[in-house]
Structure 1
Amino acid sequence: MPGTMGAAAAPGTTDTTDAATHTTDAARASGTAGLTQARRAAETISEAKTPRGADTAPATADGLRTAVPPPPSEVARSSSPAGDKPPPKVALSGKANGLALAVLGVAVAWLAHHLAPAVPMLTIAVVLGIVAAHLPGLRTLVRGSCRAGLSYAGKRLMRLGIVLLGLKLSLDDVLDLGWATVGMVFAVVAATFFGTLWLGRKLGLNGDQPLLIATGYSICGASAIGAVSEASESDERDVATSVALVTLCGTLAIVVLPLLQHPLGLSDAEFGRWAGASVHDVGQVVATAQTAGSGALSDAVLVKLMRVAMLAPLVAAVALSVRARSRSRTAPREAGVDATSTASANQAGTAAGATDATDAAAPAARPSAGPGARRPPLVPLFVLGFLAMVALRSTGWLSGGAIDTADHAQELLLAAALFGLGSAVHLPSLARTGGRVAALGLCSWLVIAGASYAGVLLTT
């Protein structure tokens, strides 16, 4: 019996043990499944919190993530200087290269002017800039590593030169001309400016070219173009084309106007006033009027400086016009942004509450203050500097040596600026639109020459 009972009990014990084993395995399986589900849930939450695009590492068998090294290409890219933002010294190096090239151009222009004094140094500087932009050896530098410095010279150095240009003029010189001459100069400037502007629009010229050409012909050539381009924020290519055109016509005036003095029956004094009222750049006026003697030269310079005095109010008027246009353009845009922001807030409020949605949508709807939203100043600072220099010269406090030094510095600064502007001229592009631009330049030249000739006859 005991043996029988033991034998009978053994199968029962075995069954019980097997059942317990199955129960334990089931529990383990259930626990493993639960742990797996828990891990998956944790991974899902972690992935939801991880920003899109962030690097993720695969999980190991124990559920821990291991750091995966980036690919070799990524390592090379991150360690390469090209993958980072260029350090400040790279930008400074590019600007220094362009400024050095501009200084070299000024040195060559100065040497050429001393070899041929009849040709103004500023005219030579513009021509050298155009030549440098098209020479096979220099073209790559002008359009590449030197572009930043040349553009800097065309803008910043131009401003400094215009400020020092004010030391050429005093209020006593203006009063010595007489009110009849002052009125004549004002009428010539107004007729040339508005006539050229109207003709440019009729010829279908786009951008600010009509404005720039009108300013250059009516006031003081390339210097006036540079001043107005700063106030109107004109495209550099339009500025360069306008400078090239006004420089070409001013250079032709040095040759053409002296040939017309006697056929037109002008005395030396009358010819000097005609040259001062019609020729664009100060240096070109000097080169043109000196052919008729010192008396003609002094009258020409005084009349020319009277035209220069009108640069400040003209630039201020252009700045106010640009500011008004900027305000009229930004007002509808701001109104549209406010309407969009309100609509977005209302839609979001329907889904998740109006207050929270408004707070979330407002920053995204409001545009940041970028270059397009910036309004030009009422009066550019360099114009105020120009007027300050005129006032300083009028006080009589400056010595002759100081005025001569400032005059040389002003000429060098403008020469560097004009070299930079000339280097931005692209002759193939100019040839494509050169017909209309040349027609406008020729018409403007005829307008100012005819108006100034009539004004000289009426006031003498």
Structure 2
Amino acid sequence: MASTAGAARPSRLEFWRLALPGLAVSFAIAALAIGVRNATGLAALNPVVVALVAGIGLRAALGLPGVIKPGIAAAVRPVLRFAIVLLGLQVTLGALLSLGGGALVVAMAVVGTTLPFTIWLGRRMGVEPALATLIGTGTAICGASAIVAANQVARGRDGDVAYALAVITLCGTAAMLLWPLLAAPLGLDARAYGLWAGASVHEVVQAVGAAAAGGDEATRAGTVMKLARVFLLAPAVLALGAWMARSGGSAGEAKVAVPWFAFGFLGMVVLGSAGLVPDAAVSLSRAVVPILMAASVAALGLSTDLKDLRLRGAAPLVLGVASSLFIAAVAYAGVRLIG
């Protein structure tokens, strides 16, 4: 057999031809996951999470046939990156500026403190650096989207991504259910509660769901605050990539690839904010991005061995809980300071 270095790379057409079976399986799982969420109407059944569970279940039951491996690799990389670029169309600079300077500072503070805190605490707890980074990114920014985006530079194993997604899902769902009960004891009015929920709950759907419990004003404030954190996805991934490159990369790598998709995300934000993207295209992105994300995470699930997850123990889950409490405290302090 020829070595990898000596073998000719397949043409782009041949690459996608080989990827077709695995992509078909990944997108079929994504369609099923979205169908389950739509049929039940339960916000907790995020299609990304359903797709992950379905992918892991299929892998456990049927193994990983070689014919779908190229497609799984394509779903985890090119498809995911395209989804993140399109996600930029859902964030506009006008909406972010409507929050006011103080709220934007809170958004930057929760992201800028939660991620390094989680990495630091993970090191103290003995959690693998890549897994701690993914948990911190998912907590600080926007859940599943942030985890799979950050892994493009963190280069964790598929099991790291799957475990981080499970932890973030559990903690974010708990926050969505518990935060509405804390609004009155914490003395938060509708707008302040919405800002707190948007600044501290993990997934977009979880944050909006938590904020909605406070009424229309809370929903508006929480949604825009959450979008401010989503906007910080690209800068955070770029900063993470630069930091890992300076520190020698992940798992001994001397060089970390530049996350060009993050620039694409920022480019879409600028184009959308300038009114250069038709409303129909923005609406289409809202429908397409969840499908692409779910397909990518389904592929991760198909690549994940349950035995690997069981070996991680409970420490990463404890880390996720601690990170969630930390971001909630920072967000609460910030909301109180800005009034």
> Among residues 144, 156, 162, which one is paired with 1:234 in the alignment?
156
> Among residues 401, 414, 438, which one is paired with 2:317 in the alignment?
438
1:209 aligns with 2:131: yes
Which residue identity is paired with 1:128? A
TM-score, with structure 2 as normaliser: 0.87
Larger deviation, residues 436-445 vs 304-313: 304-313
1:402 aligns with 2:286: no
State the 1:101 CA deviation.
1.6
1:108 aligns with 2:32: yes
* C-alpha distance in 2 between matches for 1:239 and 1:444: 17
Q: Name 2:5's counterpart in structure 1.
A: none
* C-alpha distance in 1 between matches for 2:195 and 2:230: 14
* C-alpha distance in 2 between matches for 1:390 and 1:211: 25
Gaps of 5+ in 2: 1-7
Q: Name 1:35's counterpart in structure 2.
A: none
1:274 aligns with 2:153: no
* C-alpha distance in 1 between matches for 2:129 and 2:199: 27
Q: Deviations over 1:58-117 (max 9, x none)?
A: xxxxxxxxxxxxxxxxxxxxxxxxxxx9x9999766632221121111211221222222
Change (3 A) 1:128 1:316: closer
* C-alpha distance in 2 between matches for 1:453 and 1:424: 38
1:126–1:421 CA contact under 8 A, matched in 2:
no
Gaps of 5+ in 1: 1-84, 331-371
Q: Deviations over 1:312-366 (max 9, x none)?
A: 2221122222322449x99xxxxxxxxxxxxxxxxxxxxxxxxxxxxxxxxxxxx
Which residue identity is paired with 2:36? A
How do residues 384-403 of structure 1 correspond to structure 2 at under 5 angstroms? 384-403=263-282
How do residues 305-316 of structure 1 correspond to structure 2 at under 5 angstroms? 305-316=227-238
Change (3 A) 1:204 1:96: same
State the 1:307 CA deviation.
1.0
> Among residues 126, 135, 138, which one is paired with 2:49 in the alignment?
126
* C-alpha distance in 1 between matches for 2:217 and 2:88: 23
Which residue identity is paired with 1:407? R
1:155–1:226 CA contact under 8 A, matched in 2:
no
Which residue identity is paired with 1:376? V
State the 1:179 CA deviation.
1.1
* C-alpha distance in 1 between matches for 2:69 and 2:212: 37
State the 1:447 CA deviation.
0.6
RMSD: 2.7
* C-alpha distance in 1 between matches for 2:232 and 2:286: 19
Change (3 A) 1:185 1:134: same
Change (3 A) 1:94 1:399: closer
State the 1:142 CA deviation.
4.1
State the 1:299 CA deviation.
1.0
Q: Name 1:152's counterpart in structure 2.
A: 74
1:199 aligns with 2:199: no
Larger deviation, residues 396-405 vs 203-212: 396-405
* C-alpha distance in 2 between matches for 1:291 and 1:424: 37
1:251 aligns with 2:173: yes
Provide the secondary structure at the position in 1 that maps to 2:311.
Answer: helix
Which residue identity is paired with 2:34? W
